[in-house]
Amino acid sequence: MAGAAKRHKRVGQRPNLLLRSLQKHQWWEITFVAIGMVALIGVIVILFLPLGKGPARYSHVLPLPAAGSMAFLQTVSNQMAIPIDRASAPEIIEDGDAILRRVLSDIDDASSSICMMNYIWSDGRFSDQLLQHLQRKSAAGVKVYVLLDAYGSVKAPDGKFDRLKKSGAKVSVFRSLMPLPWKIMQDTKRNHRRAITIDGRVGYTGGVAVDDKWLGHARTPEEWHDLMFRFTGSAAQRLMGSFSELWMATTGEMLLPIEQGAGEGNGSPYLILSTSPSPDLFEGETFFLTSLWSARHSIHLENAYFLSDASVRQALEDKARAGVDVVLLLPGEHTDEKSVRWAGQRVYDDLLQAGVKIYEYQPTFTHAKMLVEDKGWSVVGSANWDNRSRKLNDEIFLGMADDGLAAGLEKIFQHDLSRSRQITLQEWRKRGLYQRVLEYLSQAFVQQY
């Protein structure tokens, strides 16, 4: 009886303890804590639940024309309301030293304008060389515009950018990093576009960012492997438009065309898509899927971050079962985001079982972004094959029907394959429990990868 009485006394004391604890704080302190808890729950719901992420699965009703055909380009143009244009195939530039050397040469030749936006900008030798050349051209009267992303460029050298601005250049930052509940839905969506335009006549896009990891020739794990594409003519002008669109959204300033890029009537047909996140339209997903659905013979994909949703996985598996040569070339152990790799590996078993071939690049981290289909249709740009690029970030997708471009990319792809390790279904099913747990846990964050 005495023990029961004591237990009853302790139970009766609990509300009193809670009440006394609350009485130690001011009402406004309790209110702020309550608001914080509600905000935290809201952030978790926004970031990790699949709300407003579009249909669970995409499909096509009617047969699609072959990838790279004019009928295919017209279908994509009509579906997505983007024009078909023509331009010469781009120059493919491989790895950091060669890319930086080519970009600096074009910057030095600039006569009227240099517009540059990038996701990552970190202090270092790469940054120093680029800023030195930009500052010299700005001081000489060339209009220089640089657009940074607040998250990707958190390590940018502020003092050195101040010197660039003093020379007459304009520098702006896309969105903020303020953890405000009413801005979290906006600020989680970043500007991942890469575009450099010089005088509106030369334009670059691809995967390279401003960080010393991109220097070198991919000879060691510290030197990343990547590609950039140098366009001229109308394609350069459209890349200028991709920059100007976000410059105006950030600063309110419209950049009128400084030079008018000319169309090339005899060039190869291409489509360029500059995406911005929308809760209703996921244009990156549509662009990628339409390309996959239209392949007839081969799908060769190399990308730094591969996370397939149900629609992409189904498209790849269906094509492999239909006899299409589907090859994925993905990062190996040398990756900067191990959890993204583990989440992507979660579906290896399904893909391999369907006949998809999977290779992992061994020498270093491959940050290249390319898709080549049927030896004639190529998709390049800034986008990864993850949820952020397909649905959350501002990106650039450029698809071109050109046999020469496809052949150039295929040559790089085959060379990269020779430096990769193939993953077989038999081997994959022998992986340990620890690896399986990592894959399972990493999937929880797939909406934000």
| Distance between CA atoms of residues 72 and 65, nearest Å | 5
The predicted-structure confidence for 261-303, as pLDDT tens digits, reads as follows: 555 567 999 999 999 887 778 899 999 999 999 999 999 999 9
Inter-residue contact 108 to 138 (CB < 8 Å): no
Residue 291 in tokens: 């390309």
Domain contains 194: yes
| Distance between CA atoms of residues 326 and 313, nearest Å | 12
Pair (183, 305) in one structural domain: yes
Query: Quick one: pLDDT at residue 279?
Result: 72
Inter-residue contact 67 to 206 (CB < 8 Å): no
Pair (103, 219) in one structural domain: yes
The predicted-structure confidence for 9-60, as pLDDT tens digits, reads as follows: 444 444 566 566 656 666 666 677 777 777 666 655 555 555 456 777 889 9
Which residue has better confidence, 14 or 338? Answer: 338
Pair (329, 417) in one structural domain: yes
Pair (388, 343) in one structural domain: yes
The predicted-structure confidence for 405-443, as pLDDT tens digits, reads as follows: 999 999 999 999 999 999 999 999 999 999 999 998 888
Domain contains 410: yes
**Comparing C-alpha atoms, which of 160, 163, 91, 162 is closest to residue 126?**
160
Mean pLDDT over each residue of the chain, to the nearest integer: 89
State the residue range of the domain holding 25.
18-49
Count, in order, helices (H) and strands (E) of the chain. 16, 16
Question: Rounded mean pLDDT of 110-123?
Answer: 96
Pair (199, 282) in one structural domain: yes
The predicted-structure confidence for 357-407, as pLDDT tens digits, reads as follows: 999 999 999 999 999 999 999 999 999 999 888 888 999 999 999 999 999
Domain contains 11: no
Tell me the whole-structure pTM to 2 decimals.
0.87
Q: What is the 3-state secondary structure (H, E, C) of 132-169?
A: HHHHHHHHCCCEEEEEEECCCCCCCCHHHHHHHHHCCC
Domain contains 61: no
Query: Quick one: pLDDT at residue 12?
Result: 47
The predicted-structure confidence for 126-143, as pLDDT tens digits, reads as follows: 999 999 999 999 999 999
Pair (123, 239) in one structural domain: yes
Pair (196, 83) in one structural domain: yes
Domain contains 55: no
Query: Quick one: pLDDT at residue 343?
Result: 92
φ/ψ (deg, to 5) at 410: -65, -35
Pair (35, 132) in one structural domain: no
| Distance between CA atoms of residues 258 and 92, nearest Å | 26
Pair (42, 124) in one structural domain: no
The predicted-structure confidence for 232-248, as pLDDT tens digits, reads as follows: 999 999 999 999 999 99
Query: Quick one: pLDDT at residue 57?
Result: 87
CATH of the domain at 318: 3.30.870.10
Domain contains 60: no
Domain contains 330: yes
Residue 22 in tokens: 């609350």
| Distance between CA atoms of residues 149 and 116, nearest Å | 12
In sequence order, which residues have a C-beta less than 8 Å from that of residue 396 and are 6 or more positions away? 193, 194, 195, 205, 239, 242, 272, 273, 274, 275, 381, 382, 383
Domain contains 9: no
Pair (291, 177) in one structural domain: yes
Query: Quick one: pLDDT at residue 8?
Result: 47
Residue 297 in tokens: 């013979």
The predicted-structure confidence for 303-328, as pLDDT tens digits, reads as follows: 999 999 999 999 999 999 999 999 99
207: pLDDT strictly greater than 80: yes
**Comparing C-alpha atoms, which of 231, 272, 230 is closest to residue 398?**
272
Pair (97, 29) in one structural domain: no
Inter-residue contact 416 to 303 (CB < 8 Å): no
Burial letters 161-177, b for 16+ CB under 10 A, else e? beebeeeebbbebbbee
Pair (33, 147) in one structural domain: no
Domain total of the chain: 2
